[in-house]
Every structure is written in C-alpha cells, then in structure tokens.
Amino acid sequence: MKVYINGKFYDKKEAKISVFDHGLLYGDGVFEGIRSYSRLVFKLKEHIDRLYESAHSIMLEIPMNKEQMSKAVIATLKENKLTNGYIRLVVTRGEGDLGLDPRKCKGHGAVIIIVDKIALYPEKFYKEGLKILTVPTVRNLPEAVNPQIKSLNYLNNILAKIEAVNAGYDEAIMLDSLGYVAECTGDNIFIVKNNHLYTPPQCMGTLRGITRDAVLEISRRDKIQTHEHVITRHEVYISDECFLTGTAAEIVPVVNVDHRVIGTGKPGKVTLNLMRKFKELTKKEGTRY
C-alpha cells in the first residue's frame, strides 16, 4: 500500500509525519472519507468542496488547489491499483512548537491520502438492521466546534462511540444541546413516517453528509416527501422505519432504538428501496479513473 504525503508516495511503513505536527498534538486539521466503486469516485467534487470549506473555516491554507487535490486522489487510487476503495484525505496544520498557536506552524501542513480496501460492515447489519442507543455525550455546539467542520478532533464522536460500545451497542445516537436528535458518531440519521422522510437540519449539531444529500435527492426523484426538520427521540421511537447514512456504512437499517422496536422490527420497504437505488447510483455516477 502506497501513501501519498505532500506529492510523494511512500510505503506504508515509511509513511510518517512529525510528532510536532499540530494535527497530532491538537487535532488541528481537517479530513474527508471518500469511496470509489468500480473505478468511479463517488461525489468527489462534493467531498473536495467540503474539505476546502472545513479548511477555510479553521483558517488552514491547503497548499494546492481543488483540481490538484482531485488529481492527487485519483493518482493515489491508480498507484494502489484499487478498483473499489476507501479514501482518507487528511490535511494537518503542520509542524509547530508545543504551544497551540498555529502561527508557530512553519510552512504548510501535511496533505495525506491513504487508500485502502473497503472494510464493509458485517452483512448482518444490512439484512437484520442495527440496534442503537442514545448516549449522554451531546454533539458539539455549532458555536463551539461546528459539526460542519470535519476536523481531526473527533473526540466528541469517539466519546459517544465508547459509551455505545460499553453498553454493548455498535452505534450511538447523539443529541444536540437542546435534546433533539443530531446524528450518530459517523453517520446521519433518517426516519420514515407515513411514507414521508425526515432527517435533522444541518444547522443544529449535524454534519451535512454527502450520503445524506444523495438519499434526499433519490427520494425527491421518487416523489417521496422529504423534510429537514428537528426530530425528537419520541419521533424516532414511533417511526415506521429508521436508517443511517454515511460514506463508510452507505445506508444501514435501524430496527431498535433505546430498547424500542422500530416499525415491524425488520428493515422497512422505503429503506430497502433506497439501499437498492443508492447502489445503482454508485455504479453509474462518479469521477472515472
């Protein structure tokens, strides 16, 4: 496996950056997770745009333009001869001193592209659906670290993940600071009620997921009414269907939330239809390499 760091490829063992990089010392940097299917990178432009928006918001200058970044992603996939891949794009603040002042970071940070085979979730999750749990750690306040920023500081989500795992669950629902449903640790959440689709708005504590947007788009094309609206736990409990979306997980059904059975307790019709349509979309849409 070859890793891209600042324009060069390194063997996995040799792919290293400084222990003084503020990406490590403070989680000061941004990232993206992208997928390719049969030599098509899914929503590459959207991921690159979001990366640059995250960087702009934290005043991190990326030492290359969007076109060069897209080319670097493609080059890394080709270098590794990957047909179906998971791409992790990381940009750090760079090497500084032990203080947190980013002005001390000299030069440009590291641009890192790691590609790997897709680590698929167990088939069981998709066939039978997930059981998930609401956890105590709330999603970051937008006026503190805005969840729209895909920063290297993911402790907020990791704490929620730890709480879910400690309770014997694979995934957690995180609430926003007002107690509304925000999202899961690395996925957006949707519910279906009377054939209408609901997902929390991006303004609260929710990342505007690229898979989320693709699902909204497919649903609108299918003439399903979609609503970006605040959701309470109660509304999740009484929903007909529930599912999660994310680049890694794609679309995964949820059949039990906080010990309440959702709908029939099996993946629902709308969810299964969206899973099929999403798969079709990934087969035909994307940047070819």
Catalytic residues: 150
Hey, what are 173's tokens? 């629902």
Helix (H, G, I), strand (E, B) or coil at 61: coil
Helix 210-221 to helix 269-284 angle (10° resolution) is 110
Reported as half-sphere exposure (CB side, CA atoms, 13 A), residue 61 has a value of 7
Helix 66-79 to helix 44-57 angle (10° resolution) is 130
Hey, what are 210's tokens? 């690229």
Query: Angle CA(222)–CA(184)–CA(187) in degrees, nearest 5?
Result: 50
Length of the chain measured in residues: 289
Residue ranges in contact with ligand PXG by CB under 6 A: 33, 157, 183, 186-188, 207, 209-212, 245-248
Calculate the dihedral angle through the C-alpha atoms of 119, 125, 127, 128, rounding to the nearest 10 degrees: 170
How far is the C-alpha of 150 from the C-alpha of 207, rounded, in Å?
A: 8
Helix (H, G, I), strand (E, B) or coil at 127: helix
